[in-house]
Structures are given as structure tokens and as C-alpha cells.
Structure 1
């Protein structure tokens, strides 16, 4: 019954998102895919990159996620509502799975409250409302199933779920050491432990080989621009400094979600050069405390250890620690880590007293309300881009995207103002050049429009938007 309550809560707070449209990468991955809704595309997903339509951008391999999109289109049609509906159902299912996993290691009451808190976290709005955020939802959900099947000693199913999680999104690689930890410190016989660990490793290696075969040299590529991830263009030392500084930011977005944004790109997050910056010191302190906790009685606390692993594992991979990724920071990238935060906070037993329970209820109501409000921002690109441009006022991407919305509405005065503001931040941004081209084209100056589209292609050869727009004015 408690699982159904969590499931129902998720559907209620995200119900409005069913009325949303395609936003950002949804257009690129789903709406623009000519094979969406084709039966033949179902089988093709295993043998091609996630961004298969983007020439030279083969860096992601997520066939389970792609398969789910094609199947989704076959069942509900190509309209955005069907994709949003499935995202909502999958997210609700993940909330339930969090409860089922937690109840294996803590009391049912603690598991229920932990899962409820996870479900209402406003930072999840990007992963749920942005349809391509399904990769985060599927990967975590399938990993949780792998954990549950391990608890039930269904080793083959556990390994299969790990494989499917990896095929949903690369971040699931952190699931391997977690599953090994749970098994090694479990009560199984030594020969069973060795056999199952070998099975997990074999599954993971098989995934890596398959990924390498499909992606080839592009598997290690990173096409992020200066705007998308400036940490790609700095020294290793400075990248790590900033990665450490972003840890407190992420935790702040989980616990104090007052200002949420789809964009944290170039200039919105100022780069840090000093190890003595308070944000770097704060992040470093968190790392030291985490390591130090392993030398206390907490090292025997399974909830704490799993929370640490679920927090730091994904942060290490998607937080630019080990290597630069496609973006400097993203709320959707904290989907896994947010569960780690919840599990670590569970050790404080905030629901042990009745008055603490009511404080927790009030907090959940506030979180749920913030989630619902944020869902309205995600109903359309226009709402999202214009709303977030007010917060991300130093971002060339946010200002340029908002300008495009005003241009589409034929508000050329406001659109030009935002284009000029974006240009003062970073004039060589290809999307900005494309938007300038649209501005001149719709203003009747095809000559200047052509110049902007050509400049865009010089900056980013093969960029589909500028290529298609240039052809339209020829």
C-alpha cells in the first residue's frame, strides 16, 4: 500500500507535465527523427549511436532509452503528451523502487519517508519534464531492480538489469561497484560471491565492448563547445577545482531548490581559479568528511555507504572530475546523486519524534509545491526560455534562446535587445548567430541574414539549423 502512495504522489505532482511539448533535445532526438514510430527502428537502436542523426556526434550509446522512445511512439503516437505520460509513469515507478530497496536495509517506516522525500525533490523536474531525461530515470530504475533481484538471490535477473541500466545511460557504470559491495558484505557463500561478481563484471565488459563497436573512435569524443562546457577548455587542475566547487551547488539545488534553471552554461557559472575560493573549500570539506566517515562507526552503516556511493559515483562521472563531459552542470545529472543525498540524510532519523515528522511533512509539501510550480515552466520552450532568462541573466545561451522566442512571436524589439545582450557575453555562439540570421531574415535583410548563417557554419561546420536556414533563403 505504501508503494502505491508513493506512485500516486508522483503522478499527482507531475500530472500537468502531460500537457507539455517537446523542449530542447526532445526536438533533436524525438520530434525530428523521421523513423520515430517505425517498427523497423526498434531493432536498429542496438546498432547505432543515440544521436545517430548528428554527423560527427557519436559520443552516446543508449539503445534501451532509444528503444523506449520508438516503442512509445508506436503505442501512443508521436505527440508529446504520450512521451510525457510514460516519463511520469516511469518516474513514479522509480519512487516505488526506492521504497522497495530501502525497506530491505531500514525499517518500512524509514523507507517510506525516504522514498517520499526523494519523489518530491524539485531538482527532478528537468529529468521528468525534459523527455530525453528518461535516460536518467531508466538507468536508475533498472539499477534499483538489479539491487532488488540481488536481494532476492535472482542473480541472472540482477545482472540483466545492470546491463539494461548501462544500455540506458553510461552513468549506470557506478552500479557495478555498488552491487559488488552489497554482495561481498552479504551472507552468501564465497563461491556464490565469486561467481556473481564475475557475472557482473562480464556483463559490464560486454557492454563496453558493444559500445566501442557501435561508436568506434567517437565513443570517447566530446563535441561540447565553450558555451556548453568551458571546463573542456581549461587545464586539468582548474577543471578539478571547478568540479569540486560545483558539489555544494548541486547539494544546494537538492535541498534549497528556490532557483532552478535548465541552463548553467558559459558565464552563468563563473570559472574559479583559486583553491581557496569558499566554494572549493566547501566542496573539499565535504569530500574529506565523506572519506573520514569511513573510519567511524558509519562504515558499518549500509544506508550511509550506499548513499555515499550513489552520491559520489555519479558526481565523479558527470561532474567533470574524471574528464570533461558535455555540460558544466545540469540538474538532470543530479538524479542519481539526489538519492544519495536522501539516503545520507536518513541517518539523522528526522522522523523519530512526532514533531520532527510534522516538520518533514511541511518540508515535503513545500517541495511538492515547488515541483508543481516548476512543472508549469516546462510546459513549453517559450515559457521555459523566457522564464529562465531572468535568472540566467549572464548566460549567452539563456539570453539567445529567450530572444528566439520573442522573434517567433514577432516581437523584434525585445528579441533584438536580448540578442544584443547575448552578443556582449559571447558573440561567437553558433545558436546566437543563427538567431541573428533569423532576425535579419524576418526583418527583410536577406543579405545580413546570409552573412550570419555563413558565419555560424564557419564557427560550427555542418550545424543543421544554420544549414537548413541558409538553404531556405537561397
Structure 2
């Protein structure tokens, strides 16, 4: 899809044998992770097949993608994020729209003398609209099931969720760095990170772990910058 067949095969094998996946299968509750992942990937694959139709919507594969998206969310709520992945794939990979295109489009919209026209195609527009509607319906259904309330976590389930705002935000951002590091160097794994305060809360800005958070965001930003730079 993105790489030559050999590179794709090697990447798939690395994904299949990555040690971090043991966290999802060492406990029965982890089956939600694996099931959601299966349908997450299925939804994306079906959507990518739908984009093969340049002038048409590809309703067959699009409907399969929407069904897989709903199933992924039913397995685990995070599965719904595949809708965003599909949208990003459509916009940046299939349609090859870049930030400078958006900038030019905004200028054109504000100026009556500009001759720039944003690329238009009924197929991509319908696909994105269908995924947006599907996502909205799924979120609405989720809210109805929850009684229009957010889930309530206990201190044991999620210590950061009941911590003061500053501590909560610093910890949540730090956890991104923790998970990023585990993907690169899976030396310390755990089947349940909530047990006994496995990851101590980040309670102040002077905590040295904030440097890991900043480094993670800097690295991600650098990757995005390099990716867009190479596309020019």
C-alpha cells in the first residue's frame, strides 16, 4: 500500500512478533485489543480498496469499511479512530493534498481575483462524508448507551483521572512518551499498567520526566516535517 512488497512483508512480520503485543494477550480482557485491531485494520484495508476508484465512490468496499469501523468500536472504543486514519489517508495520500494547497485555497476563497481551484471529485467527497456520518452516528449511539455521561474511573483503575488538572495533563502527555519508548525498546512490559501505580504520576513541571514528553513531541514533529519536506 505504501511500500514495496518486500518492505511491507518485513514490516508486517515485525508488527506480528513485536514483544509489546504480549500485553494484549496475557490477560483475558486483552482480547478486546486484538479483536479491535483486526477490525481496525480491516476497515482501513477496505477503505483503501474503495479509493482505487478514481471517479467513483466504491460503495461496496466503503460499506464494508464502515461496518468494520463499527465492529472495531464495539470491540474497544478506540477502534473508532480508524475513521480519522481513513480521512487522513484519503486527503494526504490519495488526493495528495498538502498544507500549501490548503493555504492557497484559503487565499483563493478570500480573494475574488485568484484563479486557484481546490481539487474536486465526487468520489472522495462522498467517501469522506459517509465516514463522517458513520462516525457521528457511532458516537451518538455511544452517548446514548452511556446516558450522555463520560465514563467514571476510580483511583485504582486510572489514578491520573482523579488527580488535579495539572498532574493529570502532565501524566497523560508523559504516557505518550512511555508508549512510544516501549515500541522502540520494549524492555519493561506489563499486562495491567494500573496495578500498584506502575507509572508514578507526574505532579510538577520540574519533574525530569517532562523532558521525555517534550522529546517525544519534538521527535514526532520532526518526522512530520521531514515527511512533508520530502513530498515537495
Could you say which residue in structure 2 is the equivalent of 1:125?
22
- Distance in 1 between the 2:19 and 2:166 partners? 32
1:276 and 2:210 aligned = no
SS at match of 1:177: helix
1:263 positional shift: 3.8
Pick one of 15, 23, 37 that aligns with 1:140.
Answer: 37
Could you say which residue in structure 2 is the equivalent of 1:234?
163
- Distance in 1 between the 2:138 and 2:84 partners? 15
Pick one of 121, 125, 139 that aligns with 1:190.
Answer: 121
Q: TM-score, normalised by structure 2?
A: 0.74
Pick one of 211, 228, 233 that aligns with 2:142.
Answer: 211
Q: 1:282 to 1:262 in 2, by over 3 A?
A: same
1:225 and 2:132 aligned = no
CA contact (8 A) 1:122 1:257 kept: yes
The CA RMSD over aligned residues, in Å, is: 2.4
Could you say which residue in structure 2 is the equivalent of 1:289?
219
In the comparison of the two structures, how many residue pairs are matched? 196
Pick one of 174, 177, 201 that aligns with 1:248.
Answer: 177
Matches within 5 A, 1:248-327: 248-265=177-194, 266-296=196-226, 298-299=227-228
Q: 1:237 to 1:116 in 2, by over 3 A?
A: same
SS at match of 1:213: helix
- Distance in 1 between the 2:206 and 2:47 partners? 44
CA contact (8 A) 2:166 2:204 kept: no
Q: 1:294 to 1:269 in 2, by over 3 A?
A: closer
1:134 positional shift: 1.9
Q: 1:214 to 1:244 in 2, by over 3 A?
A: closer
Pick one of 19, 37, 49 that aligns with 1:152.
Answer: 49
SS at match of 2:203: coil
Q: 1:243 to 1:168 in 2, by over 3 A?
A: same
Could you say which residue in structure 1 is the equivalent of 2:115?
none
1:170 positional shift: 0.9
Q: TM-score, normalised by structure 1?
A: 0.38
- Distance in 1 between the 2:20 and 2:88 partners? 28
CA contact (8 A) 1:149 1:157 kept: yes
Q: 1:184 to 1:246 in 2, by over 3 A?
A: closer
Q: By percentage of residues, which structure has more helix?
A: 1
- Distance in 2 between the 1:288 and 1:255 partners? 16
- Distance in 1 between the 2:134 and 2:230 partners? 28
Structure 1 unaligned spans of 5+: 1-103, 303-474
For residues 215-235 of structure 1, give each alpha carbon's deviation from its aligned partner in whole angstroms, at most 9, with x where no partner exists.
Answer: 314x4121x322332212222
- Distance in 2 between the 1:278 and 1:172 partners? 33
Could you say which residue in structure 1 is the equivalent of 2:79?
172
SS at match of 1:238: helix
- The structure having more radius of gyration, on CA atoms, is 1
For residues 385-435 of structure 1, give each alpha carbon's deviation from its aligned partner in whole angstroms, at most 9, with x where no partner exists.
Answer: xxxxxxxxxxxxxxxxxxxxxxxxxxxxxxxxxxxxxxxxxxxxxxxxxxx
